Copies of this chain bind each other. A is one copy, B any other.
Amino acid sequence: MATKKTAKKKASSRATKMVYFFGGEKADGNGTQKALLGGKGANLAEMALIGLPVPAGFTITTEVCTHYYENGRKWPSDLQNQIEKNIKKTEAVMGAKFGDLENPLLLSVRSGARESMPGMMDTILNLGINDDVVEALASKANDESFAYDSYRRFLQMYGEVVMGVEQKASEHHDPFEAILDKAKAKEKVENDSELSVAALKDIVAQFKKLIKTRTGKDFPQDPMAQLRGAVDAVFSSWQNDRAKVYRQKYGIPAEWGTAVNVQAMVFGNTGKTSGTGVAFTRDPATGENVFYGEYLIDAQGEDVVAGVRTPKQVKQMAKDLPSSHKQLLKIRKVLESHFKDVQDIEFTIEKGKLWMLQTRNGKRTGFAAVNIAVDMVNEKLISKETALQRIPAEDLSHLLSPIFDGPEEKKAKKVGSGLPAGPGAASGQIYFTAEAAVAAAAKGQKVILTRQETSPEDLRGMIAAEGILTTRGGASSHAALVARQMGKICVCGAHDMTVDYSKKTLTGGGVTLKEGDFLSLNGFVGSIYAGELKTAPSQVIQALLEGNAAAKRSQSYKKYDQLIKWADQYRKLGVRTNSDTPGQVKNAIAFGAEGIGLTRTEHMFFEGNRIDAVRQMILAEDNAGRAKALKKLLPYQKKDFTGIFEALDGRPATIRLLDPPLHEFIGTMTSQQIKELAKKLKVSPAFINRRINELHEENPMLGHRGCRLGIVYPEITKMQATAILEAAVEVGKKAKNKPQPEIMVPLVAYAKELELQKAVIDEAAAEVRLKYGLKKSELKYQVGTMIEIPRAALTANEVAEHAQFFSFGTNDLTQTGLGLSRDDSSSFLPAYQDAEVVNNNPFSQLDQTGVGQLVEIGVEKGRSAKPKLKVGICGEHGGDPESVKFCHRTGLNYVSCSPFRIPIAKLAAAQAALEDAPAPKKKATKKKTVAKKKTATKKKTARKK
């Protein structure tokens, strides 16, 4: 709220600077001001400052956008004035005048949020043309065709984006396109560029008429009115559906708002010495250190990104436009050494002169992120710290995703190939629209979204798909860009294949596939296969879990391994695993787990025919019957724990006592199973049914479970404690590194519960010592609790009196803290995300504002009673990067997560530790730095345990 208010106040004050100029090697802002100027605006300023050729212009700040939404979509009073002043400056640098009838300046108007949201918001080009200016433009360029082509492009964009002309349900085509198509048909030409001037003039007239008919308003001839409309449209596009979906997916707050960049137009569509392109300073799919990009001769920028014309590789520019190519190669180096990162650039060449339109840090796959970061450290371009901080921790999951099984891929029917835009292997059923893809995914199908090209409207379908295939567009097309960012497997521009939307078919290699048929994509090399191919583990997995020597020699594994080693150097948080079997534990240790943070003992109850003994225990009507059944279970449990302790080789193991309501073990029986069980236990099926009914609960999540079972039936706790401790003793006899059992009592709400359960565990320990003739020091164990009930967090000082450790069970703490059942919330969480009540599913990413407070209170109060209390987290949030960082800031000792999340948790932990350090280079505001320093001081000691 504070930020909002401040913004409001500032924006409404007369003195506030709302517009920032750039151009002519000067700029009001700079590259650090992304929050204020948006990414694009800040970097345009920065490029101007370092002397790169940037068309002059200015940026309207994000604060103005916030003001706009907080004030019924009205402009702050001084905005118009500031814009006019900056147009004057732009005119001065570019040597042309906005709306001038001799030497007119045209403008582009583009959105630019703090984080790039490619294609999500609106853009208007060629702004400033009217019926008079078009003539001036024609005579200035000495090219009437160019002038009227620009005018008709402008009219279409303005009509659609600003004035809201839409395709009607009754129309088969966009109405502007329809006019264009008619004109082409009349002149019997195929391309827009072949149209005669007369035709273009006629089109312009028709476009203006269309606008008037559809909107009831005339197209504004006043350039300044055009600009006002365009700025409003960009602001409005911040709240369009596409932008909202995108923000949800990436957790971008609606409050950020977008900046608006108004910039002098330069034209790549002015002949054979003109052109436009996009490029990456390194390969964004693999990370390879090569200049990588595409361009089109005689085209406007949007043509490249839209993927309609297939562009040329940037290396061909050496032939086509040698001097501009040379200049670009130089700029590539300047940019990387200035920004210390891979840059994603847009450029235009107007009659031989190179203009830089944009630079930003390039989005890249997880593979590329790791490769580039490690390479740049080796090139001494960046430090290890920067390398660690730069890779989104979540992206490491790309390196663990499956690939195709080699031999099988060789045998598979190849039907086409394209650009490898998103590495990995995906098999699934093809669907040709986003809607169909979403529907199929909702039914549980794996989907390959198959399109000629994708556009922002396809976003939901791309999210739902396993993989994406396009038959048009290059590595910089929308499909490639978005897939890369999402970590989706993607092959794009498969020109040897054909999509027929009307027949719903994909044809290639002599094969025609229908909607719903299986297709497989190899996103590493761009191969496309008919059918469903088996996958194999990634190289990193093969190296780590299968000890594959070739995989260990691979660049992919080596760089991964280097990165994790760096992460281990920096992180302060321990990283443990949630694992229930010896096999899982072994994998987790291969991934670098330092112990077990959570073993769920009940999972073991379902194995083999143990469930019979469990059910016998549950159905027992007295202690004797229960004791008998528990006696049967003891050796099973002991065997489980033995395997786990052996796999751990002396690492600590937090083992949670029985947690779920007993009903879960008997509620799911079929009547046949009930009959059989009744026979085994010598009771009637009616009796079993009665017990099932008795144990039924309205809200089992809040029912008789967790330690509530152990309080009512202490004999269960005792059996489990005995099994754990006997296993520890027996493994310990043979092993060099003794097991470190940590027995965890679940669902504690009252300190007394833990006290009572601890007494039972201690009693079991005394008996185990007696049985094996051990001294007290010869059987060590800890007793602690899960903090997963708000009351336990709020009274953590009392609970800590009886605990040697806490582990935050944030799954249940989220359920209780938000009053939200994980199982039931799926029916309304999507609506909640649409309404922006929540940005993330709180079961995936910890709700730091709410549930996080309970964690903070729990840690603070727990340590107030026991300063050295060991505290961890074992909810699924333990593998979510943002949540891991929160755990670091809150002073936890460790996080625990599933084996495959361990690398991610390690990297996030290292990043959190680095965020703690006083960071001179970062763009943090002064206030933030102070806050962070404070936190850092708190936790100077390493707390990996």
Contact = CB atoms under 8 A, between A and B. Distances in A.
Interface of A: 1, 697-704, 708, 711-712, 747, 749-750, 752-753, 756, 788-791, 794-795, 798, 801, 812, 815-821, 823-825, 827-828, 831-832, 835-838, 847, 849-851, 853-854
A753 B829 CA distance: 12
A798 B2 CA distance: 11
Contact of A1 (B712, B798, B832, B837): B798
A750 B817 contact: no
27 contacts: A697-B823, A698-B821, A699-B699, A699-B700, A699-B701, A701-B702, A701-B821, A703-B821, A703-B825, A704-B824, A704-B827, A711-B828, A711-B831, A711-B832, A747-B819, A749-B818, A749-B819, A749-B850, A752-B835, A756-B835, A788-B819, A789-B817, A790-B816, A791-B818, A791-B847, A794-B854, A816-B816
A753 B708 CA distance: 34
Q: Which 6 A-B pairs have the closest CB atoms?
A: A791-B850, A702-B821, A703-B824, A699-B821, A789-B819, A697-B824
B790 A817 contact: yes
Given A703-B821, A753-B837, A850 B711 contact: no
A789 B813 CA distance: 12
Contacts of A827: 703-704
A819 B812 contact: yes
Contacts of A837: 711, 750, 752-753, 756
B789 A818 contact: yes
Contacts of A825: 702-704
Nearest to A714: B835
A711 B819 CA distance: 16
Contact of A828 (B704, B847, B853): B704
A431 B837 CA distance: 58
Given A711-B837, A835-B752, A801 B1 contact: yes
A819 B704 contact: no
Given A699-B699, A790-B790, 19 more contacts: A697-B824, A698-B821, A699-B821, A699-B823, A701-B702, A702-B702, A702-B815, A702-B819, A702-B821, A711-B828, A749-B819, A756-B837, A790-B817, A790-B818, A790-B854, A791-B819, A812-B819, A816-B816, A816-B817
A478 to B, nearest CB: 31
A531 to B, nearest CB: 36
Contact of A700 (B749, B824, B854): B824
Nearest to A698: B823
Given A749-B850, A752-B836, A832-B711, A791 B817 contact: yes
Nearest to A709: B828
A790 B699 contact: no
A841 to B, nearest CB: 13
Nearest to A820: B702
Which of A700, A794, A827, A851 counts the most chain B CB atoms within 10 A? A794
A815 B789 CA distance: 10
Given A699-B823, A798-B1, A819-B812, A711 B791 contact: no
Which of A703, A831, A847 counts the most chain B CB atoms within 10 A? A703
Given A1-B798, A798-B1, A816-B817, A702 B747 contact: no
A812 B699 CA distance: 13
Contacts of A702: 699, 701-702, 815, 819-821, 824-825
Contacts of A798: 1, 849
Contacts of A835: 711, 752, 756
A809 B749 CA distance: 20
Contacts of A812: 819
A72 to B, nearest CB: 14
Contacts of A789: 817-819
A621 to B, nearest CB: 14
A788 B790 CA distance: 13
Nearest to A697: B824
A789 B749 CA distance: 16
Contacts of A818: 749, 789-791
A632 to B, nearest CB: 25
Contacts of A749: 818-820, 850
Nearest to A826: B704
A479 B261 CA distance: 88
Given A698-B701, A825-B703, A795 B753 contact: no
A814 B357 CA distance: 59
B712 A828 contact: yes
Nearest to A836: B752
Contacts of A708: 828, 832
